[in-house]
Protein backbone atom coordinates (compact mmCIF):
# COMPACT_ATOMS: atom_id res chain seq x y z
CA UNK A 1 0.00 0.00 0.00
CA UNK A 2 1.41 3.46 -0.90
CA UNK A 3 2.52 5.66 1.97
CA UNK A 4 1.99 9.42 2.21
CA UNK A 5 5.15 11.45 1.80
CA UNK A 6 6.34 12.86 5.17
CA UNK A 7 6.31 16.66 5.23
CA UNK A 8 9.84 18.06 5.32
CA UNK A 9 10.97 20.94 7.54
CA UNK A 10 11.06 21.90 11.21
CA UNK A 11 8.34 20.71 13.54
CA UNK A 12 6.26 23.71 14.54
CA UNK A 13 2.59 23.54 15.55
CA UNK A 14 0.48 22.92 12.44
CA UNK A 15 -2.31 25.10 13.81
CA UNK A 16 -2.38 27.61 16.58
CA UNK A 17 -5.46 29.55 17.60
CA UNK A 18 -4.55 32.21 20.10
CA UNK A 19 -7.51 33.78 21.98
CA UNK A 20 -9.58 33.85 18.80
CA UNK A 21 -13.01 35.43 18.67
CA UNK A 22 -15.34 35.68 15.69
CA UNK A 23 -18.38 37.86 15.35
CA UNK A 24 -20.84 37.83 12.45
CA UNK A 25 -23.41 40.34 11.38
CA UNK A 26 -26.43 38.49 10.02
CA UNK A 27 -29.44 40.60 8.97
CA UNK A 28 -28.24 43.40 11.31
CA UNK A 29 -27.98 40.95 14.20
CA UNK A 30 -24.59 40.38 15.82
CA UNK A 31 -23.75 36.73 16.34
CA UNK A 32 -20.77 35.78 18.53
CA UNK A 33 -19.69 32.54 16.88
CA UNK A 34 -16.37 32.06 18.74
CA UNK A 35 -15.29 33.54 22.05
CA UNK A 36 -11.67 33.62 23.10
CA UNK A 37 -10.80 30.18 21.74
CA UNK A 38 -7.22 28.88 21.97
CA UNK A 39 -6.17 25.63 20.36
CA UNK A 40 -2.96 23.96 19.25
CA UNK A 41 -2.68 21.07 16.80
CA UNK A 42 0.71 19.36 16.60
CA UNK A 43 2.11 17.60 13.53
CA UNK A 44 0.66 14.11 13.16
CA UNK A 45 -2.08 14.80 15.63
CA UNK A 46 -5.77 13.79 15.11
CA UNK A 47 -8.01 16.25 16.96
CA UNK A 48 -11.80 16.07 17.15
CA UNK A 49 -13.93 19.12 17.94
CA UNK A 50 -17.15 17.95 19.47
CA UNK A 51 -20.28 19.91 20.17
CA UNK A 52 -23.89 20.49 19.23
CA UNK A 53 -25.02 22.19 16.03
CA UNK A 54 -24.35 25.94 16.16
CA UNK A 55 -21.66 25.72 18.86
CA UNK A 56 -19.02 27.18 16.53
CA UNK A 57 -17.33 24.06 15.14
CA UNK A 58 -17.65 25.04 11.49
CA UNK A 59 -16.55 28.62 12.22
CA UNK A 60 -13.46 27.30 13.90
CA UNK A 61 -12.72 25.08 10.89
CA UNK A 62 -13.19 28.02 8.51
CA UNK A 63 -10.68 30.09 10.47
CA UNK A 64 -8.31 27.14 10.65
CA UNK A 65 -8.64 26.70 6.88
CA UNK A 66 -7.73 30.32 6.09
CA UNK A 67 -11.19 30.85 4.66
CA UNK A 68 -12.03 33.61 7.11
CA UNK A 69 -10.41 36.11 9.48
CA UNK A 70 -10.86 36.24 13.23
CA UNK A 71 -12.46 39.35 14.75
CA UNK A 72 -9.90 39.15 17.56
CA UNK A 73 -6.92 36.94 18.36
CA UNK A 74 -4.56 35.26 15.91
CA UNK A 75 -4.62 32.15 13.77
CA UNK A 76 -1.27 30.67 12.73
CA UNK A 77 -1.08 27.89 10.17
CA UNK A 78 2.25 26.16 10.17
CA UNK A 79 3.64 29.27 11.78
CA UNK A 80 2.10 31.74 9.32
CA UNK A 81 -0.38 34.22 10.74
CA UNK A 82 -3.55 34.78 8.70
CA UNK A 83 -4.36 38.07 10.45
CA UNK A 84 -2.53 40.38 8.06
CA UNK A 85 -2.64 38.18 4.97
CA UNK A 86 -4.52 39.30 1.88
CA UNK A 87 -6.76 37.15 -0.31
CA UNK A 88 -3.85 36.07 -2.50
CA UNK A 89 -1.71 35.00 0.44
CA UNK A 90 -4.60 33.06 2.00
CA UNK A 91 -5.27 31.32 -1.33
CA UNK A 92 -1.59 30.29 -1.52
CA UNK A 93 -1.74 29.08 2.08
CA UNK A 94 -4.76 26.89 1.33
CA UNK A 95 -3.16 25.53 -1.81
CA UNK A 96 -0.05 24.44 0.03
CA UNK A 97 -1.08 23.53 3.53
CA UNK A 98 -4.78 22.87 3.89
CA UNK A 99 -7.07 20.11 2.73
CA UNK A 100 -10.86 20.10 3.20
CA UNK A 101 -13.32 17.23 3.62
CA UNK A 102 -17.03 18.06 3.83
CA UNK A 103 -20.07 16.28 5.16
CA UNK A 104 -21.77 16.31 1.72
CA UNK A 105 -18.57 15.28 -0.11
CA UNK A 106 -18.66 18.33 -2.41
CA UNK A 107 -17.38 16.65 -5.53
CA UNK A 108 -17.89 18.47 -8.79
CA UNK A 109 -20.62 16.59 -10.60
CA UNK A 110 -19.15 17.20 -14.03
CA UNK A 111 -15.70 15.80 -13.19
CA UNK A 112 -14.63 12.18 -12.84
CA UNK A 113 -13.06 10.89 -9.62
CA UNK A 114 -9.50 11.45 -10.79
CA UNK A 115 -10.34 14.85 -12.25
CA UNK A 116 -11.83 15.89 -8.93
CA UNK A 117 -8.71 14.75 -7.13
CA UNK A 118 -6.26 16.51 -9.42
CA UNK A 119 -8.24 19.77 -9.36
CA UNK A 120 -6.34 21.45 -6.44
CA UNK A 121 -3.04 20.69 -8.20
CA UNK A 122 -4.30 22.13 -11.47
CA UNK A 123 -5.53 25.26 -9.71
CA UNK A 124 -2.08 25.61 -8.12
CA UNK A 125 -0.35 25.02 -11.46
CA UNK A 126 1.48 21.88 -10.29
CA UNK A 127 2.80 19.66 -13.05
CA UNK A 128 2.25 15.89 -13.12
CA UNK A 129 -1.15 16.33 -11.50
CA UNK A 130 -2.68 13.20 -13.01
CA UNK A 131 0.07 10.94 -11.70
CA UNK A 132 -0.15 12.34 -8.17
CA UNK A 133 -3.97 12.16 -8.26
CA UNK A 134 -3.87 8.50 -9.26
CA UNK A 135 -1.37 7.88 -6.47
CA UNK A 136 -3.74 9.40 -3.92
CA UNK A 137 -6.71 7.45 -5.31
CA UNK A 138 -4.67 4.29 -4.90
CA UNK A 139 -4.01 5.27 -1.30
CA UNK A 140 -7.74 5.51 -0.58
CA UNK A 141 -8.31 2.34 -2.65
CA UNK A 142 -10.37 4.12 -5.29
CA UNK A 143 -7.99 3.87 -8.25
CA UNK A 144 -10.16 1.26 -9.93
CA UNK A 145 -13.05 3.73 -10.05
CA UNK A 146 -11.00 6.73 -11.15
CA UNK A 147 -13.08 7.36 -14.30
CA UNK A 148 -16.44 7.33 -12.55
CA UNK A 149 -18.54 10.43 -12.19
CA UNK A 150 -19.81 11.31 -8.69
CA UNK A 151 -23.37 10.17 -9.39
CA UNK A 152 -21.99 6.74 -10.32
CA UNK A 153 -20.47 6.27 -6.83
CA UNK A 154 -21.82 5.45 -3.37
CA UNK A 155 -21.57 7.89 -0.44
CA UNK A 156 -18.57 6.09 1.03
CA UNK A 157 -16.80 6.04 -2.33
CA UNK A 158 -17.44 9.73 -2.81
CA UNK A 159 -16.04 10.52 0.63
CA UNK A 160 -12.92 8.47 -0.13
CA UNK A 161 -12.43 10.46 -3.32
CA UNK A 162 -12.99 13.66 -1.34
CA UNK A 163 -10.30 12.57 1.13
CA UNK A 164 -7.93 11.76 -1.73
CA UNK A 165 -8.56 15.24 -3.10
CA UNK A 166 -7.90 16.80 0.31
CA UNK A 167 -4.58 14.98 0.49
CA UNK A 168 -3.45 15.38 -3.10
CA UNK A 169 -1.15 18.34 -2.42
CA UNK A 170 0.28 16.75 0.72
CA UNK A 171 -1.19 19.33 3.13
CA UNK A 172 -0.01 20.01 6.65
CA UNK A 173 -3.57 20.09 7.96
CA UNK A 174 -6.68 18.24 6.89
CA UNK A 175 -9.93 19.82 8.02
CA UNK A 176 -12.92 17.49 8.09
CA UNK A 177 -16.38 18.93 8.77
CA UNK A 178 -18.73 16.12 9.87
CA UNK A 179 -17.07 13.71 7.40
CA UNK A 180 -19.32 10.81 8.47
CA UNK A 181 -22.53 12.81 8.80
CA UNK A 182 -24.05 11.44 5.61
CA UNK A 183 -22.80 7.86 5.91
CA UNK A 184 -24.01 4.63 7.48
CA UNK A 185 -22.19 3.15 10.46
CA UNK A 186 -20.04 0.66 8.56
CA UNK A 187 -18.94 3.20 5.97
CA UNK A 188 -18.33 5.78 8.71
CA UNK A 189 -16.01 3.37 10.44
CA UNK A 190 -13.97 2.81 7.29
CA UNK A 191 -13.72 6.57 6.67
CA UNK A 192 -12.60 7.22 10.25
CA UNK A 193 -10.03 4.45 9.86
CA UNK A 194 -8.78 6.24 6.75
CA UNK A 195 -8.40 9.50 8.68
CA UNK A 196 -6.45 7.66 11.37
CA UNK A 197 -4.14 6.22 8.72
CA UNK A 198 -3.42 9.73 7.45
CA UNK A 199 -1.89 10.77 10.74
CA UNK A 200 -0.17 7.44 11.14
CA UNK A 201 1.46 7.48 7.71
CA UNK A 202 2.76 11.02 7.50
CA UNK A 203 3.08 14.46 9.00
CA UNK A 204 -0.45 15.56 8.11
CA UNK A 205 -2.61 16.49 11.06
CA UNK A 206 -6.37 16.09 11.07
CA UNK A 207 -8.84 18.45 12.71
CA UNK A 208 -12.33 16.97 12.58
CA UNK A 209 -15.58 18.64 13.59
CA UNK A 210 -18.32 16.22 14.62
CA UNK A 211 -21.32 15.94 16.88
CA UNK A 212 -20.92 12.17 17.07
CA UNK A 213 -19.22 10.66 20.12
CA UNK A 214 -18.39 7.51 18.12
CA UNK A 215 -16.60 9.52 15.48
CA UNK A 216 -14.77 11.60 18.09
CA UNK A 217 -13.51 8.43 19.69
CA UNK A 218 -11.36 7.78 16.62
CA UNK A 219 -9.31 10.93 17.34
CA UNK A 220 -6.29 11.11 19.60
CA UNK A 221 -7.49 14.30 21.24
CA UNK A 222 -11.00 15.62 21.80
CA UNK A 223 -11.89 19.28 22.27
CA UNK A 224 -15.43 20.01 23.41
CA UNK A 225 -17.19 23.20 22.41
CA UNK A 226 -20.28 24.97 23.71
CA UNK A 227 -21.64 28.41 22.79
CA UNK A 228 -18.50 29.38 20.93
CA UNK A 229 -16.07 28.41 23.69
CA UNK A 230 -13.84 25.41 24.21
CA UNK A 231 -14.44 23.49 27.41
CA UNK A 232 -11.57 22.39 29.53
In sequence order, the 6+-apart residues with CB closer than 8 A to the CB of 6 are: 202, 203
Largest CA distance in the chain: 53
181, 188 contact by CB (below 8 A): no
> Should residue 211 be labelled a site residue for other proteins when binding is judged by CB under 8 A?
no
> How near is the Cβ of 8 to other proteins at its closest, in Å?
20
Min CB(228)–other proteins separation in Å:
16
Task: Give CA–CA dist 77/88, Å, rounded.
Answer: 15
Shortest CB 199 distance to other proteins, Å: 21
How many CA atoms lie within 13 Å of 223's alpha carbon, on the beta-carbon side? 24
Binder of other proteins out of 22, 57, 146, 165 (CB under 8 A): 165
228 makes contact with other proteins (CB under 8 A): no
- Binding residue for other proteins (CB under 8 A) from 55, 100, 135, 219? 100
Q: Using CB under 8 A, which of 122, 144, 213, 217 touches other proteins?
A: 122
Q: What is the DSSP letter of 13?
A: -
Q: How far is the CB of 87 from other proteins (least distance, A)?
A: 6
| Contact status: 120 vs other proteins (CB under 8 A) | yes
Would you say 102 or 139 has its CB closer to other proteins?
102
85 binds other proteins (CB under 8 A): no
Long-range contacts of 122-125, Cβ-Cβ distance < 8 Å, separation of 24 or more: 123/95, 124/95, 124/96, 124/169
State yes or no: residue 58 binds other proteins (CB under 8 A): yes
178 scored as a contact of other proteins (CB under 8 A): no
- What is the SS3 assignment for 24? strand
Minimum distance from residue 25 beta carbon to other proteins (Å): 13
Residues in the interface with other proteins (CB under 8 A) total 28
- Cβ-proximal residues to 160 (8 Å cutoff; 6+ apart), any chain: 140, 141, 142, 191, 194
Could you give the CA distance from residue 32 to residue 183 in angstroms, rounded to a whole number?
31
Contact residues for other proteins, defined by CB under 8 A: 58, 62, 65, 67-68, 87-88, 91, 94-95, 100, 102, 104, 106, 108-111, 115, 119-120, 122-125, 151, 165, 169
Amino acid sequence: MPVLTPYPGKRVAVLELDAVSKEYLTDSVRVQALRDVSLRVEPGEFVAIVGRSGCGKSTLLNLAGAMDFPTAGDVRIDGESTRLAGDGALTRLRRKKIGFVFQSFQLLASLSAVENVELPLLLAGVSGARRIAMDRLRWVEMDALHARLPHQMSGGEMQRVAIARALVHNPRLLLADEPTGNLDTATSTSILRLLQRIVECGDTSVLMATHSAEAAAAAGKIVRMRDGRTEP
